Amino acid sequence: MDRKVKRLLVVIGLLLVSNVALYFSGKTKSGLSYDEAQFAVQDTASVASISIGDIQLRKESVWMVGQYPADPAFVDHLLNVLLRVRVKKPIGEMSVEDAVAISVNNRSFHFKPNDTKTRTYFIADGQGYEMEIPGFSDYVGGIFELAADQWRDRLVYNGSWRTIQNLHLDYTAGDADDFRITFEKDFFKMDGIAQPDTTRMMDYLNQFQYFQANERLSPGRVPYLDSIAGTTPLARLTIDDIQLKQPITFTIFPRRPQDGFHLLLDPNGEMIAVDMERTGMILMRHRQFKR
């Protein structure tokens, strides 16, 4: 999984708990010769379209990136940045070479980081400005550096013991570790175990509540993962849920030792990355459900 996404998720969490003072919004601070809020979007509810380089975000019934729903957390974070961002100081003329063009509704400027990704610069009319969010010390510009895949909604399935009717984990190397959990009458049972560990079984089912990928991966973006996707999978997880018209299947591939995630194919056959800890919770064995 891209470290950029991990870092950005941490930044989002920090911003959510930070008490940022939005003082003097839209006004020039006393004693300053520039408008510190000149790039701020005062009414983010009115924003209907945002472009970041070649990435187009547009507001419909939900925010979209291309033909796909966008990740709500990242869109909210972007709007939060656009609302709170302030000019820390002007820095004179700056080239837009290697900068990213930003457009919010009909407003346009360019974004550029410094070499160490610790400072965020906006450029307008050839003039550069170092930007900040008052009261927040972390790097602001990471939200403008996401790839198109990283803007996509990471939610791939949302189920739990209340909705799952049948779940089957099938290991391709053999059936000794396979298991099936089935809802019958008023509770769940497990094939081959007369009295399974019900707490462990319920925990297993509940891990799929609001189940997100760490990242979505388009073909060609990470070539070695394309190759892995063409190999024999480690296991297939099939879930029958009362919310769905038909069962869905996740295909899970072996993890390279140097990777901190597993490659999966989601129910639509698209590649996703899921961290090894959560994948490890999915890849339980039949014997582990015995009391």
Domain boundary pick from 117, 136, 151 = 151
In this structure, are 190 and 218 located in the same domain? yes
Evaluated on CA atoms 38, 43, 46, 52, the torsion sign reads positive
In this structure, are 17 and 137 located in the same domain? yes
- pTM confidence score: 0.83
In this structure, are 120 and 235 located in the same domain? no
Residues in Cβ contact with 284 at an 8 Å cutoff, skipping those fewer than 6 apart: 169, 179, 204
Domain boundary pick from 151, 178, 211 = 151
Q: What is d(CA 47, CA 83) in angstroms, rounded to the nearest whole number? A: 11
Q: What is d(CA 129, CA 92) in angstroms, rounded to the nearest whole number? A: 7
In this structure, are 168 and 285 located in the same domain? yes
User: Which tokens hold the place of 135?
Assistant: 């009261």
Domain limits for position 180: 155-289
Domain boundary pick from 151, 174, 198 = 151
pLDDT tens digit string along 89-129? 999 999 999 999 999 998 999 999 999 999 999 999 999 99
In this structure, are 86 and 113 located in the same domain? yes
Band of pLDDT at residue 21, cut at 50, 70 and 90: very low
Number of structural domains (the chain) is 2
In this structure, are 191 and 273 located in the same domain? yes
User: Which tokens hold the place of 101?
Assistant: 């063009």
Question: Within 13 A of 169's CA, how many CA atoms are on the CB side?
Answer: 22
The count of other CB atoms within 10 Å of the CB of residue 190 is 21
In this structure, are 172 and 117 located in the same domain? no
pLDDT tens digit string along 139-183? 999 999 999 999 999 999 999 999 999 999 999 998 899 999 999
In this structure, are 40 and 141 located in the same domain? yes
Supply the pLDDT for residue 186: 86
In this structure, are 145 and 164 located in the same domain? no
Band of pLDDT at residue 17, cut at 50, 70 and 90: very low
> How high is the mean pLDDT of the chain?
91
Phi first, then psi, for residue 115 (nearest 5°) are: -65, -30
Please give the average per-residue pLDDT across 190-202, as a whole number: 94
In this structure, are 164 and 209 located in the same domain? yes
User: Which tokens hold the place of 261?
Assistant: 């995630």
In this structure, are 17 and 103 located in the same domain? yes
